[in-house]
């Protein structure tokens, strides 16, 4: 079995900028900057034959390069319990179209549709025992975060192991965007 997802890599310079946000939030497990990414489509645990089909289908994606901007912070929660902190990614038309194409490809291969609305982001931390008050205080102290803009010239198929805290992720295939 392989646990797969498609994503955009965050360049090292942008990752360094994001890593400066680390700290000051009780119960936060901060993600290593090497594991920062913008998920396009979580695929999940699939057999190796299906994984090969996914990899081959993604090879037919033809999209031009584009740029992404990081702006704002967001807390994801289950009900009233916060579970992760993220930097928002401005949803450009190119990003939304690329993500929608990945969704169509995955569904055409017979895998279930993603049940959640797509919210582009880079996860910074996952929480264990962090209160909403702690998160609200941290968010107010960091104000309206504006991160770097960076070029996107490829997307990747990542594999991961079921783990706490995110990562390590392994690039299984890289797919360049057409110039």
Per residue in 126-142, pLDDT (tens digit) is 999 999 999 999 999 99
pLDDT for 165 equals 54
Q: Tell me: the pLDDT tens digits for 50-83?
A: 999 999 999 999 999 999 999 999 999 988 899 9
| pLDDT band with cut points at 50, 70 and 90 for residue 167 | low
Q: Is the pLDDT of residue 164 over 60?
A: no
DSSP string, 33-57: GGG-EEEEEEEEEE-HHHHHHHHHH
Distance from C-alpha of 104 to C-alpha of 28, rounded to nearest angstrom: 35
Distance from C-alpha of 124 to C-alpha of 20, rounded to nearest angstrom: 10
- Mean pLDDT (whole number) for 94-110: 98
Helices (H), 2-159: 12-19, 48-58, 93-108, 132-142
pLDDT for 84 equals 97
What is the pTM for the complete model shown?
A: 0.94
Distance from C-alpha of 101 to C-alpha of 79, rounded to nearest angstrom: 30
| pLDDT band with cut points at 50, 70 and 90 for residue 14 | very high
Percent of the chain with pLDDT over 90: 88
Distance from C-alpha of 167 to C-alpha of 173, rounded to nearest angstrom: 17
- Mean pLDDT (whole number) for 21-43: 96
Distance from C-alpha of 152 to C-alpha of 29, rounded to nearest angstrom: 27
pLDDT for 160 equals 87
């Amino acid at each position: 079995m392989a646990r797969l997802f498609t994503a955009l890599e965050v360049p090292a310079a942008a990752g360094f900028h994001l890593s400066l946000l680390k700290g000051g939030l009780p119960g936060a497990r901060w993600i290593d900057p090497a594991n920062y990414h913008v998920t396009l489509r979580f695929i999940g645990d699939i057999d190796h034959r299906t994984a090969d089909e996914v990899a081959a289908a993604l090879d037919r994606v033809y999209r031009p390069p584009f740029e992404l901007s990081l702006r704002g912070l967001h807390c994801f929660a289950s009900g009233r319990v916060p579970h992760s902190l993220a930097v928002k990614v401005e949803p450009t038309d190119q990003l939304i179209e690329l993500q929608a194409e990945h969704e169509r490809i995955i569904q055409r291969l017979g895998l279930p549709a993603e049940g959640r609305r797509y919210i582009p982001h880079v996860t910074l931390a996952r929480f264990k025992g962090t209160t909403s008050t702690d998160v609200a205080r941290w968010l107010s102290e960091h104000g309206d975060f504006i991160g770097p803009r960076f070029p996107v010239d490829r997307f990747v198929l990542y594999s991961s192991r079921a783990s706490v805290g995110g990562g390590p992720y392994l690039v299984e295939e890289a797919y360049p965007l057409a110039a």
